[in-house]
Structure 1
Amino acid sequence: MSLLRNAVRSSFPVRAFNLNHAVAFCHRQSPKLFSTEAERPPASEDSSIDPFLQTTATGMVYGKLFGITRQTLRTDVINLLEGCNLTLDDIKVNYNRDFLPVGMMIQFPSRLAFDNAFKVIAKKGRLYRLENADRSQWDFLMPHDGKTLLLEGIPRNAQLEDVERFLSGCEYDPSSIQLTVRQGLPDPIRIARLRCSTRTEAMNAFITKNRGFCLNNQITVRVLH
């Protein structure tokens, strides 16, 4: 019996050691196995990119072109940026309150086209300057699209019927006529804006009516792009 008791006592430390060793082993495991918190996804590699240069859901990139003049057409910009895959619908002219062009908003089909435009301007378009723009600037800008006519120099006493008589023979939307006054030297200038259905109709009105007379005033007709 004494031999049996001695054998039981000698085995106890071994069992206790094995139990403590198992508990310690569990504590040494990575806390990730017991954590209930969701792991954060790794940071995107694009997070450091200029937000202006990040493409939209449609892959578009936007820019603003400075250095244009009153005579610069959207087709001139398309020819300048040949290889950037631009169309007339990808360009909007930005006018100030006096309807003088101060820049052009351009919608590029890809980041590659945007980068290519920088290279082209550096080589052959040094009179121009291209800057990054945001999608909101593009959306905010009203598109005239070569279909809006601007009549400048309308007499102060002219009525809507006089403007319509001046435009006799032209195809346009009569409900779109807006008569306003803008600052001029030495006196304010009365102007009218109206909308044609097509670019061809707007250009025909420009050709036939520019420098014509409304009452006793000579009218300047412009096509807004």
Structure 2
Amino acid sequence: MATLPDPSRAGGAMPRHVAIIMDGNGRWAKARRLPRIAGHRQGVEAVRRVARAAREHGVEVLTLYAFSSENWRRPEDEVRDLMGLLRHFIRSELAELASENVRLRVIGDYSVFSPDLVELIDNAIARTAGNDGATLVIALNYGGQAEIVAATRRLAERVRGGVLSPDAIDDALFERELQTHDLPPLDLLIRTSGEQRLSNFLLWQAAYAELLFVDTLWPDFDGESLAAAIETFGRRQRRFGGL
């Protein structure tokens, strides 16, 4: 059986692992007659606020959907701007992450980014690898379906090589092939901007997560917004298929 969230933490408890689909940067900018990049810049500020607030609330893992595998379909100049903001965020926040004992993790295939950005990400991960406080996970060039397909291929190769029996494959074994295998189970998944879909984010991991869709655009999401989401989580009854 796959690892489920701890039922004893339900009912007024703090979620260990929170994930956020950060949506609404473009609409925030459009409403103010600003270019989309202005919305993305404010979105980075929201990341700073929320990451700090999550640590203050005692959230162990915060996973943020920063760049999906589908985001390559956006205009080239917008993708370039997003990559520039990612560089800026890592350079400006790395010292604080290190000093606050935060471990940085990345899920997704960021190897396709430019070599200098890949090196920057690798160095940031290495610098914080020994930290044992909160974990900040950034999803970059990530897609839930691709993650599941990749895990399936690895198991299929082991079966073909004769080192694994098909009968031995269960959900727990499959879960160990996912990029999140060493993280606590996902408790709460939030999407901002009023949209109500997962958009290919943490599809396996969200099986028993509490889902919360809020109207707030991501640049306006802050510590109080996170606190309200956590309070909503605490009021939910989580039975995980039981009574």
TM-score by length of 2: 0.23
Larger radius of gyration: 1
TM-score by length of 1: 0.25
Which structure is richer in relative contact order (CA contacts within 8 A, separation 6 or more)?
A: 2
1 or 2, which has the higher strand percentage?
1
1 or 2, which has the higher helix percentage?
2
